[in-house]
Structure 1
Amino acid sequence: MDIGWAGLVRGRVYVRLFGDTPRSNQTVYLCSGEKGPSYRGTSFYKAHKLEQPMESLRGGDFENNDGTGGRAIVDGITSGGVYYHEIAAGLFVSWPAHELWHLGSFDIYLRDCPGVFDNSAHGIVTSGLDLLRLAARHKPITDTSVQDCGLVIPVATST
């Protein structure tokens, strides 16, 4: 994801998804735009609990761009099980399975929170976490956005 504000791309964030699951597949579709909706051009709409445990940045409302939308675009999304992870800085999560109207939206935790778990984790930021922390502190938060997004597909090399 290319993240920016004030009309400028400020940097790139990479998220590694946790396997072939409905939540991860939905994120792939929303990053690629393959099924129509996309995170491209969406604003971050909330910096949640700044300077506190569970600090996060919320975005991904591709429908209304204000946190009221971001519906599920794939079927079979559940919570718990493979999605149950201890909260660490960079953990990429979406909403609980019963909130179908928000399942395409996401939160990215910006701080470690040892001993606290999330039921909807499906990725981790591998690069760009400091950029997300800067974005979370930008005022107004809605000026920050995913200016572009896509997929990086690792290619195995033979030796």
Structure 2
Amino acid sequence: MLPTKAPLVFLDIGTEQTVLGRVYISLWGQLRRAMNFLHLCLGDRGPSFRDSMFLEVMNADCPGERIRGGDYECNNGRGGEALLDDLESEEGYSMPMEAGMITAGGPNRKEVGAQFFICTEDDFDRRFACPFGRVVSGLPIVKEAVWLVMTKEVYIRECGVVVEAARI
């Protein structure tokens, strides 16, 4: 049984030759974007983030630095449709940018609903549109991926959900 209040997902990040490590993300389960991300980590509806690339770094080495991924179709930033309809739009809500926050990404957030950003630096003067989760462990791995993506292809090698065993 999957948790619906705050599901915990993981992304195993690496290059062609190296495994960087595992990143754990707590999703805000009440949001459709979070559920969309969860299904793309599970691959239970067909598409999955597995073997998709991190595409680019925005604001490199500056406040508000973030890395973009999630194009499971084309691996070039032009694909990655949402699995669910009626995802929250960027006008709906925003929060100050904090390290580890995950939000909607891509050129058109409504059409490219699978793409996402992970913010690696705090910038409380800027706002992050459509946040739907937070990195709870593994932010140093994301920061390492930021530097590697400049010269190498960095992938989500494996992904899924952390399911806690029932306590008896």
Identify whether the pair has TM-score above 0.5, normalized to the shorter chain. Answer: yes
Name the CA distance, whole Å, in 2 between partners of 1:95 and 1:139: 17
Match of 2:112 in 1: 102
Name the CA distance, whole Å, in 2 between partners of 1:112 and 1:57: 13
Match of 1:132 in 2: 142
As a proportion of its length, which structure holds more strand?
Answer: 2
- The yes-or-no answer on 1:43 pairing with 2:53 is yes
Name the CA distance, whole Å, in 2 between partners of 1:82 and 1:127: 27
Give the superposition deviation at 1:103: 1.2
Could you tell me the percent identity over the aligned residues?
A: 31
Aligned residues: 158
> Any idea what SS the aligned residue of 1:102 has?
coil
RMSD of aligned residue pairs (Cα, Å)? 2.2
* Structure 2 segments unaligned to the other structure (5+ residues): 1-10
Give the superposition deviation at 1:115: 3.2
Give the superposition deviation at 1:84: 2.2
Matched-pair contact (CA < 8 Å) for 2:67–2:146: yes
Give the superposition deviation at 1:155: 5.1
Give the superposition deviation at 1:100: 3.1
Give the superposition deviation at 1:154: 3.9
Match of 1:88 in 2: 98
TM-score (norm 1): 0.89
Match of 2:21 in 1: 11
Give the superposition deviation at 1:143: 1.0
Match of 1:54 in 2: 64
Match of 2:6 in 1: none
Name the CA distance, whole Å, in 1 between partners of 2:51 and 2:159: 9
Give the superposition deviation at 1:157: 4.4
Match of 1:152 in 2: 162
> Any idea what SS the aligned residue of 1:151 has?
strand
- Give per-residue Cα distances to partners, 1:26-78, cap 9 Å, x unaligned: 00110000110100000101011111122111111011011111112101112
* Structure 1 segments unaligned to the other structure (5+ residues): none
